């Protein structure tokens, strides 16, 4: 399969591209942000669906995701999706504040010019080529973490190393920010477990202290 980037649009060569209602509904929970400082959850603009649709095999099953939404101008959507076979990442910027699917739809209804997306990053890597996971630390879930019956924790600051032939590539994955509530922690747990489930076993895991400011 050959992908071409034309401006901010990725086109799959040799096949027609179309965002169907089924794809839109399937993607909805995986491209939606959690509450941000009292703001309601937001859904990424359609451009994000287009890029993922171009990169992910329609037959592949999406199982988990992580969404990082910066609503200050420029709006930035950075999303990682795990399918049954690949890890995919899309990062798109808009020169506008709080630009999400609702803002995009309002512009369409008013026949206003849409905000042009700036595609900053888009890639997929097979889960089967993962050679190592690195974590920067862990985050206790409960205040009484030291009790033997309440030792739940989250692994944080994830980096994934892929091997393709003689090449090794390491990517920071999922965003480097605190997990603020139980919903975010559960989504993060599902995301990490999905990556580990699709990677070869046994899988090397390392802890490498990292700074959240880096």
Sequence spans of domains, the chain: 3-127, 128-207
What local confidence, expressed as pLDDT, does residue 11 receive? Answer: 43
| Rounded Cα gap, residues 63 and 142, in angstroms | 26
3-state SS, 93-116, equals EECCCCCCHHHHHHHHHCCCCCCC
Q: Which of 180, 175, 179 is nearest to 77 (CA)?
A: 175
What local confidence, expressed as pLDDT, does residue 9 receive? Answer: 41
Report whether 116 contacts 96 (CB < 8 A): no
Return the structure tokens found at 206. Answer: 């390392």
Q: Which residues contact 154 (CB under 8 A, 6 or more apart)?
A: 138, 139, 141, 179, 185, 188, 189
Q: Are strands 130-140 and 153-164 parallel, antiparallel or unpaired?
A: antiparallel
Return the structure tokens found at 32. Answer: 């939606």
DSSP string, 112-170: PPPPPEEEEEEEEEEGGGEEEEEEEEEEESSTTTTSTT---EEEEEEEEEEEETTEEEE
| Cβ neighbour number for residue 92 with a 10 Å cutoff | 24
What local confidence, expressed as pLDDT, does residue 115 receive? Answer: 94
| Rounded Cα gap, residues 128 and 53, in angstroms | 21
What local confidence, expressed as pLDDT, does residue 141 receive? Answer: 63
Supply the pTM of this predicted model. Answer: 0.84
Tell me the mean pLDDT per 10 residues along the chain, length 214: 39 58 88 78 93 89 94 95 97 96 93 92 97 87 56 82 93 76 84 96 89 47
Return the structure tokens found at 38. Answer: 């009292």
What local confidence, expressed as pLDDT, does residue 184 receive? Answer: 81
Q: Which of 170, 109, 180, 194 is nearest to 141 (CA)?
A: 180
What local confidence, expressed as pLDDT, does residue 8 receive? Answer: 37
Residue count of the chain, please give it: 214
| Rounded Cα gap, residues 77 and 24, in angstroms | 17
What local confidence, expressed as pLDDT, does residue 3 receive? Answer: 41
């Amino acid at each position: 399969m050959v992908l071409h980037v034309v401006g901010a649009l990725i086109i799959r060569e040799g096949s027609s591209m179309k965002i169907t209602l089924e794809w839109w509904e399937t993607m909805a929970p995986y491209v939606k942000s959690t509450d941000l400082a009292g703001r309601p959850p937001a859904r990424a603009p359609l451009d994000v669906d287009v890029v993922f649709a171009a990169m992910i095999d329609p037959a592949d099953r999406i199982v988990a995701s992580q969404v990082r939404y910066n609503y200050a101008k420029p709006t930035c959507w950075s999303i990682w999706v795990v399918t049954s076979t690949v890890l995919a990442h899309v990062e798109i910027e808009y020169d506008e504040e709080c630009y999400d699917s609702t803002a995009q739809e309002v512009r369409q209804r008013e026949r206003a010019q849409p905000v042009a997306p700036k595609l900053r990053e888009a890639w997929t890597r097979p889960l089967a080529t993962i050679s190592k996971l690195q974590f920067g630390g862990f985050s206790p879930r409960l205040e009484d973490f030291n009790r033997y019956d309440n030792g739940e924790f989250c692994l944080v600051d994830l980096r994934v190393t892929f091997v393709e032939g003689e090449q090794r590539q390491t990517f920071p994955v999922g965003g480097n920010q605190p997990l603020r509530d139980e919903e975010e922690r559960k989504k993060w747990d599902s995301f990490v477990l999905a990556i580990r489930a699709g990677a070869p076993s046994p899988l090397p895991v390392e802890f490498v202290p990292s700074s959240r400011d880096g």
